[in-house]
Amino acid sequence: MDVRDGPVLVLQRIRTLLETLITDEQIDRLSIRGMGIGIPGPVEFRSGEPVSPPIMPGWHRFRVRAFFENAYACPVYVDNDVNVLALGERWAGLGQGFNDSLFVKVGTGIGCGIISGGRIYRGADGSAGDIGHISVTDDDVVCRCGNVGCLEAVAGGAALSRIAQEAAQRKKSTALREMLKERGELSASDLSGAIERGDPVATRIIREAGARIGRTLAGLVNFYNPQLIVLGGGVVQTGNLFLASIREAVYRRSLPLATAHLVIQESVLGDRAGVIGAAAMVLEELLHIDPLNAQGKFGARAYGVFDTETRSQESYTA
């Protein structure tokens, strides 16, 4: 699905998929007690509505919550996708046991979910964690947000794809040039393919992007002093060099006291963090379950939703 098709088409499609799931799995509609939804853009959590999401034309103030609440007669919670991912990591991934942590997603764009005192921190207007548009360079690279020099515009997945294609077109890299000829376009993962073939230009591009992100995170480490940073998203999955470059820059540019116990790791949940996080959001909001005290009867495992081996029905219905 493409979110640019607009909310009506996309949400109708999701509803159709839900109906198929309910029929195929013979789910009792009354057992659907709540729904959790993540959206790739800023969301006003209170109303469950996207607010001027840059990559989602037509979605501004669309009543996503109301759409599903009307259809399923259960409470619906809508949040930014990176917050949902951070919550998933908090409940069932590397974030378990960490009260102050960051989840950084480097995909097409760059975003950050903030855990403060064990809970999602959303800020005054729900836009907290929007680190992709922090200014990192005086170069006049125009960002999709309209500003120049944003982190996302020089180190996000879309930027890497553009930089790789430029390098190929300018004949700076034979490996990238061959790949571009073959496929017609290049993505961030093609860079890791070129690195595996020993291409120095691709290596430099990934290293520089990692260093840019790392320097930005170093500043946030000084400010926020988290115990843990989990990195996820498509670009992070391209290989170890990217992660190593980020790590190196964070440890070099942060204060010693702030990095003494800091852990920086790649997400182990991967794509499943979103499903788990959406379910966790419902549990937290609807049942007021606190992950800090989620043990025994009210623990995550007691609900069976976060069993990473056997996916139970609840993981879909919630």
Is the Cβ–Cβ distance between 213 and 246 less than 8 Å?
yes
Query: Which two structure tokens, joined as six digits, stand for 101?
Result: 């942590």
Query: Which two structure tokens, joined as six digits, stand for 23?
Result: 């029929």
Q: Does 265 bind a copy of itself (CB under 8 A)?
A: no
**Per-residue x/- mask for a copy of itself, residues 205 to 224, rule CB under 8 A?**
----------xx-xxx-xxx
Q: How far apart are CA 119 and CA 129, in angstroms?
A: 14
CA distances from 124 to 82, 118, 168 (A): 17, 18, 44
Q: Give the shortest CB-182-to-a copy of itself separation in angstroms.
A: 38
Q: Does 147 bind a copy of itself (CB under 8 A)?
A: yes
Q: Which is nearer to a copy of itself, 130 or 190 (by Cβ)?
A: 130
Q: How far apart are CA 142 and CA 146, in angstroms?
A: 7
Helix (H) or strand (E) holding 245: helix 240-253
**Per-residue x/- mask for a copy of itself, residues 154 to 183, rule CB under 8 A?**
------------------------------
Is the Cβ–Cβ distance between 89 and 48 less than 8 Å?
no
Q: Which is nearer to a copy of itself, 122 or 177 (by Cβ)?
A: 122
Q: Does 57 bind a copy of itself (CB under 8 A)?
A: no
Q: Does 55 bind a copy of itself (CB under 8 A)?
A: no
Q: Does 135 bind a copy of itself (CB under 8 A)?
A: yes
| CA dihedral sign, ordered 238, 181, 185, 150 | positive
Q: Does 61 bind a copy of itself (CB under 8 A)?
A: no
Q: Which is nearer to a copy of itself, 179 or 249 (by Cβ)?
A: 249
Q: Does 74 bind a copy of itself (CB under 8 A)?
A: no
CA nearest 318: which of 262, 279, 265, 269?
279
Helix (H) or strand (E) holding 14: helix 7-24
Q: Does 47 bind a copy of itself (CB under 8 A)?
A: no
* CB count in 10 Å sphere of residue 142: 11
**Could you tell me how many residues of this chain bind a copy of itself (CB under 8 A)?**
43
Residue with the two structure tokens 């006003």: 44
Q: Does 52 bind a copy of itself (CB under 8 A)?
A: yes
Q: Which is nearer to a copy of itself, 1 or 260 (by Cβ)?
A: 260
Q: Does 125 bind a copy of itself (CB under 8 A)?
A: yes
Return residues touching a copy of itself (CB under 8 A).
Answer: 42, 51-52, 100, 112, 114, 116-117, 121-131, 133-135, 145, 147, 215-216, 218-220, 222-227, 253, 255-258, 260-262
